[in-house]
Amino acid sequence: MDEYTAAAAAELRAAQARAQLSDIALAERAGIPVVTLRRYLKGTRDTPSSALFKIAFALDMTIGELLDEAMKRVKR
């Protein structure tokens, strides 16, 4: 897993925790299979932009907010 995938996965997990949503609840709100969501959360699968939009919306965030926070995790 590269650092960008890891950063995105870490921020998705952090945002999920802040929203106090289980994997099942977040997957349902985002309209994606829970198995797929768990792969995004673990960083074992890249998250396509369409899924990021859905997940961000389900977390009451914009995709920009989500990615801005993820970029703070990337080493420069």
Distances (CA, A) of 3 to 8, 26, 34, 47: 9, 24, 23, 13
Instruction: Indicate whether 1 pLDDT > 80.
Output: no
Instruction: Check if the beta carbon of residue 4 is closer than 8 Å to that of residue 40.
Output: no
- Backbone torsions φ then ψ of 52, nearest 5 degrees: -60, -40
pTM recorded for the entire structure: 0.90
Q: Which residue has the higher pLDDT, 31 or 75?
A: 31
> What is the per-residue pLDDT across 11-40, written as a single tens digit (0 to 9) for each?
999 999 999 999 999 999 999 999 999 999
Mean pLDDT across the chain, nearest whole number? 94
Q: How far apart are CA 46 and CA 29, in angstroms?
A: 20
Note the Cα 16 to chain centre separation in Å. Answer: 8
CATH class of 1-75: mainly alpha
Instruction: Indicate whether 76 pLDDT > 80.
Output: no
Distances (CA, A) of 31 to 48, 61, 65: 14, 16, 20
